[in-house]
Homo-oligomer: A and B are copies of this chain.
Amino acid sequence: MIYVTIIEDHQDFREGLTFLLNASEGYTCVDNFGSAEEAISSLSGREDVILLDINLPELSGIEAIPLIREKHPQVKIIMLTVCDDDDTIIQAILAGADGYLLKKTAPEKLLSSLQDTLEGGSAMTPSIANKVFSLFKKHVPVKNNAISLSSRESEVLQLLVEGLDTAKVAKKLFISIQTVRNHIRHIYKKLQVHSKSQAVAKAIKEGLV
């Protein structure tokens, strides 16, 4: 038996969902709340998984995640929302959601997602998965293997990315400023840049560090 709590401000939807869960074998809705504040103060702790709306009055679903986790670290949280814009999805994932479903998701899919989540997976509708794939491609650096820095050069570049200037790098590596200048010069040549900031930008974007 999977115990579910719903946090959702639209009464009709909340009640519909409660009915669906209780009518489905193996699922029980143990609680439902109309706001995040109410839920946070009254959560029974009996639920295995929480279906959490994002667009709640006052405290949003995303802001609620860390507060819920504070008291119930092991409960699974699935976002259930109409929002599918990039930033909302990113924020939810970063906040620690275990799943992200759209409200138009078919009932059977919703129920199986609860199951999947409890087995350690993350629930997503295919359209959300598609967005996550795109966002992933946008944010993960494309390793550039064409650029081969020497170990010392990599070391220097790493320190530059961490914000050290030439003098600090020299001090840290126990070598002279002149030598660091030389390494930087070689790094510039290999990365085809002409300043520290360009080198740092390229290093981060191309996954050289």
Residue ranges of A at the interface with B (Cβ–Cβ < 8 Å)? 90-91, 93-94, 98-99, 113, 116-117, 119-127, 129-130, 132-133, 135-137, 139-143, 160-163, 165, 193, 195-202, 204-205
Taken together, the copies of this chain in the complex come to 2
Contact of A129 among B121, B135, B200 (CB under 8 A): B121
| B residues less than 8 Å from A122 (CB atoms) | 126, 129-130, 132-133
Closest-by-CB residue of B relative to A117 is B126
| B residues less than 8 Å from A133 (CB atoms) | 93, 98, 122, 132
Q: How far, in whole Å, are A119 and B104 apart by their CA atoms in the complex?
A: 15
Contact of A162 among B126, B132, B201 (CB under 8 A): B201
| B residues less than 8 Å from A119 (CB atoms) | 126
| B residues less than 8 Å from A99 (CB atoms) | 129
Contact assessment for A129 and B123 in the assembled complex, using a CB-CB cutoff below 8 Å: yes
